Structure 1
Amino acid sequence: MSNDPIAAVVQYVDAFNRGDAKAMAATCADPMQILDGMAPHVWQGPTACEDWWRDVLTEGAHLRASSYHIELAEPRHVDVTGDHAYVVVPATMTFDLRGKRVIQSGSVFTVALRKAGTAWRLTAWAWTKGA
């Protein structure tokens, strides 16, 4: 993992785009917190990333949604203070819903990170839905 907090965020999103829960979890700190628009809305603790992904797949099966993909734009904020970082990145998510492609533009991915040794780890993230 890079010594750059943005690289850690990109690594997490790349793992998400591949549907690789283990790689997503490898970028997360313990404890981890996730705030998302999908119920139950908050996941926390050492297995937050895996628990959230399990719930994404469960909800996706229920709604007939699949093929999730996130594209990140240029970050709005990359604030680093010692071993802590705050990153705000505009994003677009695409996915298939009941056989139709959905584009969710205008979203924002906000991430807090902590440096563990020389690597940045996500400690919390929130997804704000766009249009």
Structure 2
Amino acid sequence: MQTRDVLILPYKVTERRDGCWRYGAAMPIPDSRAQKIELFRETRRAFRRNEELFAEKSWVQVMMGQGIMPRSHHPIAANSSDADLARLLDTLRRTVAAAVRGLPDHASYVAHHGGIARDAG
């Protein structure tokens, strides 16, 4: 997906049609991008071509962040047993939990990156 198409996406999917929203909604996007949006809506499938800026997970975040929700599940779910899906989700939960444990809390992050002393005052 090209950066221009990512920037146009919110204008294409919003209900707003005042001011710049009307102009943005009228801007064309390539057929390949429209097909990508429809594929996501139908199956939650996202893919990345080599020249595209966004990876699959970024594409999913952009789509869902703009309110484009899948009507169905990814086809792999239909071909997996409940036990396989439970193992996959458990692995994902543990991976995310481990990553979160390694992150600083909000105050520490702001103090380090924002230059604000933790106990100033």
Q: Which is strand-richer, 1 or 2?
A: 1
Question: Which protein is bigger by CA-based radius of gyration?
Answer: 2
Tell me the TM-score range normalised by the shorter chain.
under 0.3
Q: Which has the higher contact order (CA 8 A, sep 6+)?
A: 1
TM normalised by structure 1 equals 0.22
Q: Which protein has the bigger helix share?
A: 2
